[in-house]
Structure 1
Amino acid sequence: MNLIESRWIPVRRESGESHIAPWQITDPDDPVLELSAPRPDFNGALLQFLIGLLQTACPPEDGDQWVDWLEQPPQPETLKGKFLPFSYAFETDGEGPRFMQDHTLLEESDIKTVDISNLLIDANETHFNKPGSINCLCPKCAALALFTLQTNSPEGGRGHFTSLRGGGPLTTIVRIQTSADSINQTLWEALWTNVLENSDFDSLNVTVVPKTMEAQFPWLSPSRLIKAVIKSDTYPQDIATTQIYWAMPRRIYLGYNEEETSCDLCGAETKKAYKNYQTRPNGISYSNDPVWRHPLSPKYSIDKDGTKKAFRHLQSGGFSYRIWPSLAINGYKHDEVAKVVSFFLEQRRREDQFEQVQIHAFGYDMKSNKARCWYETTFPLYTLEPAILERFAAFTEILIQSSTDTADMVRGCIKDAWFKRPGDAKGDTAFLLEAFFSHTETGFYSSLKRLSDQLKSGGTGKEVLVDWHSLLIQTALQLFDYWTGRGDFGTVNPRRIAQANRKLNNWLHSKKLKQSLFVSEDKEKAA
């Protein structure tokens, strides 16, 4: 199977479900609306595959070309002509080099053969499949699983390296809505919005390596594979920048049997059954010093002055509006948004052209080599002038800090009500914090929209803070009443509950909280 020429990508078109070749994403006769893989992490990987392919094969030379193709997508035959010169690198089987597989592996001893289920990042977990249910994959799902693993690879033991961005990186892409009718959105718009102009992409990582096939696709490069075997790190200056989309940290060679069966993942009938693969340690080790720059991944600062950064990964609990500024406001607390986000805000923001702009974010919650969960969401993205953006960011920090402080106080007061000695109480009560942030999430994003509108029209935004204070009070008291009233009647201590309730009320109306929100007594009374 060839990933350029074959129809292997599962999609939903206007006419229904089908499979397409990459060059068919702009088919005008039956528009492709979205990806439709059997697993959500496969959809995330496919978005990156297609963005990477466009960035590799046909990046826009300038902003005018990008706009031209956004407004008038190229014909499928045009894309096919751009993609075909790279098809040699996208063979998944056969005697020659195979896509994201190490063909030198078979020349070595001590090769380990493992079940095909280990190709899935959540192998033996229950997030997407029943345990032990994946014993055979069809060629399409095997290719998807392989790319997903190489792109997101977690820690896999000694010599089994993580991906270029670390295990299970957070990915963010820009989504645009060009009309009020969201039904008209296509997969092409989702992809092309995140393809950078040639010069901006090339400037991501310092390298002078020409964009040869071997420099872009490591499975075509014997020298790169040998360098991996002798345990030598790969640095940005060693490869073409496009390899960040085609990184290959794992040494894998897929095996298949010629037999008629069905795929345990998608259910399709197949004549090629992928039941195991061969692997060995010491794949390509992408050095994390210096940290690479990837166009789809945000970074956070690991020191106070922001000189050292690392790729952001999701934690237990997934997405919360607390991390929204770090994904949508470049430079917030020295954090760095994904390049596609910053480039859109700086170069492509034309508010009259887009009905709405969002960030589509997704990734695994990883712990060591285990995927605990897959998270996916969309956030609003605001295109503001620099002078307004600075004030907007300051207001955003006030909203988040006041919410965080209130959530901590609510948890503390609930514990005071629950336990005679709350400091000695055992057990994880982080769920109380998450409940507070979940209940205030809609209000947070509504506040952002109001702030954006008010600041752009010359307003102060203070009314938003007054209303936010009211929401914090309402949510805090509701959650306190809910959680303190759920105990066994015989174990509930009314006196402790009353004291904790008084403590919470005093804090919610305290001068400290009001000052942190810039809420004056007069404004509060007026509200």
Structure 2
Amino acid sequence: MNLLTDRWIPVRPVAGCGVEQISLETLLCEPHQRALSLPRDDMEMAACQLLVCIVQLLWPPTNMEQSIQRIQTPLTKEEFLAGLTGWEESFILNHPEHPFMQVKGVIAKETTGMDKLMVGLTGSTSCAFVNQPGQGEALCGGCAAIALFNQACNAPGFGGGFKSGLRGGAPITTLIQQRCLRSTLWANVLNAESLERDYPEWQKQHCQGFTWQKPIVSNEKIPAHSIGLARGLFWQPAHIELSPPSAAGQCSACGGQADKRYLSFLKAKFNYTVEGFWLHPHSPCVEQTKKGIPEKRHIGFTLPIPCWTQVGRLLISQQLEKNQEGRRAALVIEQARQLANGKPLYMSIGGYRNNQAAIVERRHEVMVFSQGWDRHQDIINEIIHTGQGYRLALRKALYLFVEGMKDNDIIGSRIPVHEVAERRFYRESDIYITRLLATINYEQPLKELESLHLYLSALCQSLFEAATDPYDHHVKLIQTLAISRRVLIAQLSALKMQGEQADEPTP
């Protein structure tokens, strides 16, 4: 199966129903509005990212003007065929020598079921709640290619001895979402002007070959700066090879009929070292100074907290300064700021929260930012800092209630009610803050910001009372409760009156 020419992309009409598999040419050269149709949100995002990477390499726009044109107008057949030149055998899933995202000749003691290739399907805390039974039994070529790409680029390795991708074990991916799949792809493809700034050797490095054409050498030390754009976008950190396919039938993932289905694969441990940092265009990154040396890394989901808490990192770039974190939004988000032209931003955010090789949570959602988002980063920052300020005020007051004041012989409850209240704060404030970011008038934000302060203040007081109510009549905790309540009121008053932005470490 050739990803460039065969029908493997599962889609449905944006307005309507009916799933079909189409080719890349049909997708890019026809004006019909289609959307991906897969049973899992993470597989849909991986499929979109896979398509973006292919289009990025084969048809990069020359400048911003052409980027806008590509979003609005399908490719001609001539343009499509011209882009295929030189890549015809690079994306063949069952190539006899260089199969897509695989290493030919993997030696393993036993085969592994395809369910292990679909991230979070088995062996994870969340698998019983979000997956249909038998989803990974037999995959068509398209779903197998998507699973290979997703495992290599977006997930932790298979366990001890297996490497993760260039972005780390479970990176956050941010993409721009448009009204249909075709325009979404082009909105996430960097034009040549953008590429020159961050990948100055991108055109020369095309000839390096993908990892399945020029495999990584065992125990090799690879300078990150030597990894070209093409090789980096399709980096395969593991030794994987699909087993020979079985007979025709229904794909257990997308539900389509396939003439060949893949039931298992081979995997083998393999080690190497990448020295330095490779900037991925679809991920935000941060820079911190450790022992006087700046270190960069792509960020991931590490805590079960809502996405609005991460908006500063996902959307707003900031230079590294003393005692502050440097950060940079994904390159596709930076380019979107130039393409905004007064339009709202629909940002797809995806990733996994993991415990080593185990996936404990899947995180895939869309956040909306109303028009003006590209010009008013200060307002976005204020909303996020305000939310975190009230969260910290509530936690501090309840932490005092839990720990007491040892110097004054004031005992605490010793029950971690501050952690329960903090989870409830995130859960109950998520809808309000997310909706505010999507609807606020960034030109005249004061009224909505005042409403945010009132809402969060009332929420903190309500959560404080709910957390401490069971101990209200405990004689030994009466003084502790009174002091904690005064601390909360004082902090809420400071936030409301002065708009102080709390950025203190969490106790």
TM-score by length of 2: 0.83
Deviation of 1:476 (Å): 1.6
SS in 2 for 1:437: helix
- Distance in 1 (alpha carbons) for counterparts of 2:155 and 2:377: 37
Alignment of 1:86-125 (within 5 A): 86-103=87-104, 105-106=105-106, 112-122=110-120, 123-125=122-124
Contact 1:55 1:196 in 2 (8 A): yes
Aligned positions of 1:101-500 closer than 5 A: 101-103=102-104, 105-106=105-106, 112-122=110-120, 123-125=122-124, 126=127, 128-129=130-131, 134-176=136-178, 185-205=179-199, 207=201, 210-213=204-207, 215-221=208-214, 225=215, 227-229=216-218, 231-282=219-270, 285=272, 287=274, 289-303=275-289, 307-331=294-318, 333-345=325-337, 347-351=338-342, 354=343, 356-381=344-369, 389=376, 391-392=378-379, 395-396=382-383, 398-409=385-396, 411-412=398-399, 415=402, 422=412, 424-425=414-415, 430-445=419-434, 448=437, 450=440, 452-454=442-444, 461=446, 464-484=448-468, 493=473
**Aligned partners of 2:390 and 2:495 also within 8 Å:** no
Mark the CA change 1:83 to 1:497 in structure 2 (over 3 Å): closer, same or farther.
farther
CA distance in 1, matches of 2:52, 2:69: 17
SS of structure 2 residue aligned to 1:272: coil
Q: Distance in 2 between matches of 1:159 and 1:268?
A: 35
Q: Is the 8 A contact 1:411 1:429 kept in 2?
A: yes
Letter in 1 for 2:21: H
Amino acid corresponding to residue 86 of structure 1 in structure 2: W
Distance in 2 (CA, whole Å) between partners of 1:3 and 1:383 is: 37
Give, in whole Å, the separation in 2 of the partners of 1:196 and 1:244.
15
> After superposition, what is the alpha-carbon deviation per residue over 1:28-56, rounded to whole angstroms, capped at 9, x for unaligned?
46421x21112221111111111111110
Check whether the contact 2:309–2:384 (CA below 8 A) recurs between aligned residues: no
Write the distance in 1 (CA, Å) between the matches of 2:489 and 2:412. Answer: 24
**Compared with structure 1, are the counterparts of its residues 75 and 206 closer, same or farther at alpha carbon in structure 2 (3 Å cutoff)?**
closer
User: How many residues are aligned here?
Assistant: 481
Query: Structure 1 residues 478 and 74 mapped into 2: Cα distance closer, same or farther (>3 Å)?
Result: same
Distance in 1, matches of 2:77 and 2:476, equals 69
Counterpart-to-counterpart distance in 2, 1:514 and 1:464:
18
Instruction: Tell me how far apart the structure 2 counterparts of residues 208 and 173 of structure 1 sit (CA, whole Å).
Output: 21
Query: 2:143 is paired with a residue of what secondary structure?
Result: helix
Summarize deviations over 1:56-98 as a string: whole Å, max 9, x none: 0011101111122222232466435424642311111142311
* Residues 191 and 385 of structure 1: CA distance in aligned 2, closer, same or farther (over 3 Å): closer
Q: Which residue of 1 aligns with 2:70?
A: 69
- Once the two structures are TM-superposed, the CA of residue 507 in structure 1 deviates from its matched residue by 3.3
Gapped regions of structure 1 (runs ≥ 5) = 177-184, 456-460, 521-527
For 2:169, give the aligned amino acid: G
Secondary structure, in 3 states, of the residue corresponding to 2:302? coil
Task: Find the aligned partners of 1:26 and 1:169 in 2 and give their Cα distance.
Answer: 28
**SS of match in other structure, 1:444:** helix
Which deviations, in whole Å up to 9, do the C-alpha atoms of 1:151-179 show, x marking residues without a partner?
12413344411011111210011235xxx
Conserved in 2, the CA contact under 8 Å of 1:365 and 1:373? Answer: yes
Aligned-partner residue type, residue 519 of structure 1: Q
Shift of 1:192: 1.0
**Structure 2: gaps (5+ residues):** 320-324, 405-409, 500-507
Q: What is the CA distance between 1:331 and its match in structure 2?
A: 0.9
CA RMSD of aligned residues (A): 3.4
Hey, what does 1:47 align to over in structure 2? 48
> Within 1, Cα distance between the matches of 2:440 and 2:247?
60
Structure 1 CA distance, aligned partners of 2:84 and 2:420?
48
Alpha-carbon spacing, 1:331–1:391, altered in 2? closer, same or farther (3 Å): same
Distance in 2, matches of 1:64 and 1:99, equals 33
CA distance in 2, matches of 1:24, 1:496: 73
* Cα separation, 1, equivalents of 2:273 and 2:201: 14
SS at match of 2:359: strand
3-state secondary structure, aligned to 2:87: helix
Which residue of structure 1 lines up, in the alignment, with residue 39 of structure 2? Answer: 38
Compute the displacement of 1:140 (Å). Answer: 2.6
Per the normalisation by structure 1, the TM-score is 0.80
Query: How many Å apart are 1:249 and its aligned residue?
Result: 0.6
In the alignment, residue 292 of structure 1 is paired with which amino acid? W
d(CA) in 2 for partners of 1:466, 1:402:
14
Q: CA deviation at 1:362?
A: 0.8
